[in-house]
Structure 1
Amino acid sequence: MKGRTVDLVLAGSGLAAGALMYVTGQYQARVDARWLFVPLAVCCSALLLRRSAPVTSVLVGTAAVAGDVVIGPSLATPLVYTQVLYDACLHGSARLARTLLATSVVGSVVTAIVCLVVIRDVRAIGLGVLLALVTIVPVLTGTHVRHHRDQAETARRSAQQVARLAAADRANAVAAERAGMARELHDVIANHLSAVAIHATAALSTDLGADGTRQALGVIRENSVQGLAEMRRMVGFLRDPAALPDNAPGGLRALDDLVARAGLPVRLDVRHGAGDVPVSVDLAAYRIIQESLTNALKHGDGGPVTVEVDCGPAAVTMRVTSGLPRERVIGEGAGLIGMHERAALLGGELTAGERAGQWVVEARLPCG
């Protein structure tokens, strides 16, 4: 609606300028000067088509200028025609702009040559120059403005694309952080709380005697203290990642303590090869074994568990073998998902399932 209003204003302004020139006696027509309003009105009507039909607008404007030359010529119609050419280059296709430029240049040159040959006066070249001013200048101006407008639109779209990519990166980063926090909370806090709950249930439901009760309370206290310490470490890390202590709990060197707190008979076999294990691999291996022991305690048959770890120069491989899980419980599966995620983040592999009547978790974490 706004564009249509602008078109009407331009057309009306052209007619008003022609009327003003007529009133002030600027027209010197070969016939009645009032007839010059006909090509002027036709050329002004071409402005109403400048957005929707640029080619038609140029054709109508050109016919109006030709009629104006035959009758007059006048000044108002060519001036309106310059606006028609400018708008055609601005709103039309690039092919139309190239065609108008080529036609304007050829027309101006041919007009100058013909006038020079026919009139045989150098001043006749002025007609070609005048035609160039009426045609070439608005065409070049419209093409230049369109070029800058297209560049601005391209830059705007590029900025929007960059903004969308930045928003997607932020969303992915937040999702990765949330997944990492969920993984740590499950593997660290949930494991300790599971051990506390299992031993507390055993102490309440069975008469363990003084020694058994003391042992259960000792396991509960140890897991509570350990869980609290790791929770404090996680909270401190979330507040300031640089504040993570070098002696943070966890890692393959802490497997003996982990096995001692497992609450199950565990046979541990660790083989160290040449070279140091990267910190990320060290912690991931520890968490995978920790989650495997917790699952064996929560869902296994209470039988012995075997933990085998081979720290090679290229990768750390591990195998945790336990009894088959009892009936599936609500909420089961988050631990396995977390183990798969830890292995995948390091480019490793992890499998878990029944094998030869036992539950086997195997993982390979590359060190490079």
Structure 2
Amino acid sequence: MDNTNLRRDALTAAITLVCGLLLIGLGLTGVWGGQTALVRLTDDERWWFALPLAVSCVVLVFKRRAPVTTLLIGVIALAVDLLLGGSIAMLLPFFDLLYTAALIVSPRVRRVLWIVAGVFVALPVIYRLANTGDLEITVLTGLQQAAIFIAPLWWAMDVRRKTELAEVAAARADAVERLSLASRQQAIRQERDSLARDLHDVVASHLSAIALHSGGALATPPAEAKDRAALTQVRRSALESMEDMRTMIALLRNPDVEPGGDDQSSAMDGSPHDDDTAVPRLTHLQPLVDQARANGLTVTVDNQLAHLPGGRVSAATELAGYRIVQEALTNAAKHAPRSQVSVQVIPDHDPAGTGITIRNTLSTEAGTDSPSGLGLGLISMRERAAAIGGQVTAGATAHHWTVAAILPLTSSPATATP
């Protein structure tokens, strides 16, 4: 038992004992007119009432540890007090014991207390009514008994209900806080996944091109023209990767900043910056096709979206489709070098959407120094498609590997980030 509660209960018991002794000293004994007394006490003998009072005050100290036991002792002490004629002093510790028991016992024991209290109220009322027939005396007896036995229970019930409401409110606030924390953690996880996906899509294709060209140059005898061509392609891929990283970092730091402006890497490469191709677009796949061809693939394109009016394709679909094609071409260059690749982008008007199919011939030739992947490419494509309400499937047939995507044409539930 908590020492603070023990000290508080001991102080309460001491105060109750002092107040009870004062009431006995004032002569507030024999209050029931001797109707319950078996022993007739004179005024000089009234201090016998202090004995059950003292016992009840002693057990008050332990009321929190054993509420039912202390209440039973209190009932016995009350019965002894009634046999002596009854005193107001004895009601003080009895109220406290009954209230504490009703406050902290289990619901089952609490129901028993209400039943017993009801019996203690009903029996005297019935006895009065049967023996006197006086309605006024009967009502006064019922009120008296209710004040003794029902009032402490009612008070405890009210306090317990308020305590339970406070506990429910605290639990609800805690649940709301946990839900808010879970939502923040989920948002962080989604943002981390989005950043990982974008980083993979933006940089992986360029790094794969660098690995392919540098590995090809190292795997063959030195040749100045071939080696310079490989170095030129490596440098171009590195600069493009730097440009994509710069654009992505700029958007992450300040989403309101439009990509463009002076470009240091483009200036280094000596090529002007094209605003039309700065933002990845499914309707403009030529940069991807050029990169794939430079990586040794033979690529044919049938992009029917390129002929649609501007604004017909949503920005989210433009970006997601572009990244899916980019990842498919990168995988083809890594796992099926010098293969034949066909890219088809065909709008499907029922439902309003677009189909993307990238099919490459299978090859038994391994990519030169091609790093083994983690399987994130297909995951990234599927996540991008699912984010805007589309889907991606991929698989191999006897002679081809096919990636097929269905994307909404003009609407998307989420906004993608390049």
Is the 2:128–2:137 Cα contact (8 Å) retained in structure 1?
no
Matches within 5 A, 1:87-102: 87-97=100-110, 100-101=113-114
The CA deviation at 1:357 is: 2.7
Matched, 1:316 2:354: yes
The CA deviation at 1:232 is: 1.9
Moved more, 229-238 or 46-55: 46-55
Q: State the partner residue of 1:38.
A: 51
Q: How far, CA to CA, are the matches of 2:167 and 2:343 in structure 1? A: 62
Change (3 A) 1:321 1:124: closer
The CA deviation at 1:161 is: 1.1
The CA deviation at 1:271 is: 3.1
Matched, 1:333 2:375: yes
Q: How far, CA to CA, are the matches of 1:124 and 1:168 in structure 2? A: 63
Is the 1:277–1:311 Cα contact (8 Å) retained in structure 2?
no
Q: State the partner residue of 1:73.
A: 86
Given residue 37 of structure 1, which amino acid in structure 2 is its aligned partner?
Answer: A
Matches within 5 A, 1:1-368: 1-2=1-2, 3-22=5-24, 24-26=25-27, 28=29, 30-31=40-41, 32-47=45-60, 50-97=63-110, 100-101=113-114, 104=117, 107-108=120-121, 111=124, 114-115=127-128, 118=132, 122=136, 126-203=140-217, 206=220, 207=222, 209-210=224-225, 212-213=226-227, 215-243=229-257, 248-262=278-292, 263=294, 264-272=297-305, 276-313=312-349, 314=351, 315-322=353-360, 323-324=362-363, 326=366, 329-367=371-409
Q: How far, CA to CA, are the matches of 1:252 and 1:330 in structure 2? A: 27
Moved more, 274-283 or 351-360: 274-283
Q: How far, CA to CA, are the matches of 1:28 and 1:88 in structure 2? A: 26
Given residue 337 of structure 1, which amino acid in structure 2 is its aligned partner?
Answer: I
Moved more, 310-319 or 11-20: 11-20
Is the 1:230–1:249 Cα contact (8 Å) retained in structure 2?
no
Q: How far, CA to CA, are the matches of 2:207 and 2:405 in structure 1? A: 25
Identity of aligned residues (%): 36
Secondary structure in structure 1 of the residue aligned to 2:337: coil
The CA deviation at 1:302 is: 1.7
Q: How far, CA to CA, are the matches of 1:52 and 1:103 in structure 2? A: 22
Q: How far, CA to CA, are the matches of 2:285 and 2:396 in structure 1? A: 24
With structure 2 as the length reference, what TM-score do the two structures score? Answer: 0.75
Structure showing greater relative contact order (alpha-carbon pairs closer than 8 Å, 6 or more residues apart): 2
> 1:334-359, CA deviations, whole angstroms, 9 ceiling, x for partnerless residues?
22222232233334332333311332
Count, aligned residues: 366
Q: How far, CA to CA, are the matches of 1:254 and 1:218 in structure 2? A: 24
Change (3 A) 1:358 1:119: closer
Q: How far, CA to CA, are the matches of 1:54 and 1:281 in structure 2? A: 70
The CA deviation at 1:290 is: 0.4
The CA deviation at 1:128 is: 4.0
Q: How far, CA to CA, are the matches of 1:137 and 1:342 in structure 2? A: 67
The runs of 5 or more residues in structure 1 that have no matched partner are none
Q: How far, CA to CA, are the matches of 2:180 and 2:385 in structure 1? A: 27
Is the 2:302–2:345 Cα contact (8 Å) retained in structure 1?
yes
Q: State the partner residue of 2:270.
A: none
Secondary structure in structure 1 of the residue aligned to 2:81: helix
Q: How far, CA to CA, are the matches of 1:173 and 1:33 in structure 2? A: 76
With structure 1 as the length reference, what TM-score do the two structures score? Answer: 0.84
> 1:162-187, CA deviations, whole angstroms, 9 ceiling, x for partnerless residues?
11111111111111101110111111
Could you say which structure has the higher helix fraction? 1
The runs of 5 or more residues in structure 2 that have no matched partner are 31-39, 260-274, 412-418
Q: How far, CA to CA, are the matches of 1:141 and 1:351 in structure 2? A: 68
CA RMSD of aligned residues (A): 3.3
Q: How far, CA to CA, are the matches of 1:144 and 1:244 in structure 2? A: 64
Is the 2:27–2:46 Cα contact (8 Å) retained in structure 1?
no
Change (3 A) 1:125 1:319: closer
Given residue 320 of structure 1, which amino acid in structure 2 is its aligned partner?
Answer: I
Change (3 A) 1:79 1:274: farther
Q: How far, CA to CA, are the matches of 2:125 and 2:359 in structure 1? A: 98
Secondary structure in structure 2 of the residue aligned to 1:302: coil
Q: How far, CA to CA, are the matches of 1:11 and 1:169 in structure 2? A: 51
Q: How far, CA to CA, are the matches of 1:94 and 1:18 in structure 2? A: 32
Given residue 86 of structure 1, which amino acid in structure 2 is its aligned partner?
Answer: Y
The CA deviation at 1:122 is: 4.7
